[in-house]
């Protein structure tokens, strides 16, 4: 191999390493397994490419990498496994006698999407029961400062999807769950992501309240749980 060709290959290799570093700094991951160098390129070709490249932008870096024959592994640039954001979502009130239900509240300043999330009780201490989760339907959101209720303990009469005229007309909409909440033994409640990761949880202690009361956050939405007056879909109140 003559000296001229060796010099060209050395320059191409140095340029490729520089471009890879530039693209990685811009937040992209390069698939170096697909890197190729065209030994037929000339020094003048490389100079023309370098002259036309805007190294101050990621777009210019990506164009130069394409010229060098390098493939970009875009699949690693996004974190598709990130859990949904439910910051501000709380289990706000629970009733475990008569009509069992679970109230959710959005304490954040923006809407929270429930679509695809699940709610369930426990199969063992600290462990969500995955065999009878209720999945929230597509398009369901809770606006800031709003409530949403899951009506529980419906067994085989449980219906899928968003329901209307719930709790004998007390609520305009709800979703239904087959499982009940044990008043005497206590229970744990979990909001899960689509991958079953626990996002929100709350504990209902054994015999937490007397008949006619609910287990509610006081003050509403932010406080610790205490005995409350049942207010499904509305602000919590002391008995």
> Which domain CATH number covers 129?
2.60.40.1260
Give the Å distances, CA to CA, from 109 to 69, 86, 89, 146.
47, 12, 11, 11
Is residue 65 assigned to a domain? yes
What token pair was written down for 107? 């304490």
Instruction: Check residue 128 and give its pLDDT.
Output: 98
- The tens digit of pLDDT for each residue in 58-68 reads 444 444 434 43
In this prediction, residues 11-37 reach a mean pLDDT of 44
User: 2: pLDDT confidence band, cut at 50, 70 and 90?
Assistant: low
User: Per the structure, how many domains does the chain have?
Assistant: 2
Which of the listed residues 29, 50, 76 is the one where a domain comes to its end?
76
User: Does one domain contain both 49 and 123?
Assistant: no
User: Does one domain contain both 119 and 223?
Assistant: yes
Is residue 186 assigned to a domain? yes
In this prediction, residues 116-120 reach a mean pLDDT of 98
Is residue 32 assigned to a domain? yes
User: 84: pLDDT confidence band, cut at 50, 70 and 90?
Assistant: confident
Is residue 83 assigned to a domain? no
Which of the listed residues 76, 106, 128 is the one where a domain comes to its end?
76
User: Does one domain contain both 163 and 139?
Assistant: yes
- Cα 54 from chain centroid (whole Å): 37
Instruction: Check residue 32 and give its pLDDT.
Output: 40
Of 8-12, 32-36, 133-137, 188-192, the range with the lowest mean pLDDT is 32-36
Highest mean pLDDT: which of 30-34, 61-65, 146-150?
146-150
State which residues form the domain around 8: 3-76
User: Does one domain contain both 193 and 111?
Assistant: yes
User: Does one domain contain both 28 and 95?
Assistant: no
Give the Å distances, CA to CA, from 110 to 4, 89, 143, 145, 225.
64, 11, 6, 9, 24
Instruction: Check residue 28 and give its pLDDT.
Output: 38
Question: What's the chain's average pLDDT?
Answer: 78
Position 238 pLDDT exceeds 80? yes
Instruction: Check residue 20 and give its pLDDT.
Output: 44
Residue 9: what are its φ and ψ, rounded to 5°? -65, -40
| Beta carbons within 10 angstroms of residue 114's beta carbon | 24
User: Does one domain contain both 117 and 199?
Assistant: yes
In this prediction, residues 209-215 reach a mean pLDDT of 96
Report the percentage of the chain scoring pLDDT > 90: 64
User: Does one domain contain both 128 and 55?
Assistant: no
User: Does one domain contain both 112 and 158?
Assistant: yes
Which of the listed residues 76, 107, 133 is the one where a domain comes to its end?
76
């Amino acid at each position: 191999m003559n000296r001229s060709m060796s010099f060209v290959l050395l320059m191409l290799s140095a340029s490729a390493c520089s471009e890879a570093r530039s693209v990685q700094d811009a937040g992209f991951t390069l698939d170096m397994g697909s890197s190729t160098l065209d030994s037929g390129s000339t020094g003048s070709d490389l100079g023309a490419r370098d002259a036309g490249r805007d190294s101050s932008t990621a777009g210019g870096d990506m164009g130069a990498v394409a010229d060098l024959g390098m493939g970009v592994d875009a699949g690693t640039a996004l974190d598709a496994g990130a859990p949904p954001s439910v910051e501000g979502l709380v289990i706000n009130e629970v009733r475990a006698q008569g009509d069992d239900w679970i109230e959710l509240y959005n304490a954040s300043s923006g809407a929270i999407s429930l679509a695809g999330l699940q709610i369930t009780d426990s199969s063992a201490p600290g462990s969500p029961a995955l065999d009878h989760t209720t999945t929230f339907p597509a398009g369901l959101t809770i606006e800031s400062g709003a409530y949403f209720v899951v009506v529980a303990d419906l067994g085989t009469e449980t219906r899928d999807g968003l329901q209307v005229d719930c709790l004998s007309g007390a609520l305009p909409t709800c979703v239904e769950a087959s499982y009940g909440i044990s008043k005497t033994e206590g229970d744990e409640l979990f909001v899960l992501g689509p991958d079953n990761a626990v996002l929100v949880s709350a504990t209902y202690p054994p015999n937490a309240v007397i008949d006619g009361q609910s287990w509610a956050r006081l003050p509403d939405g932010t406080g610790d749980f205490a005995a409350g007056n049942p207010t499904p879909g509305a602000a919590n109140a002391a008995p």
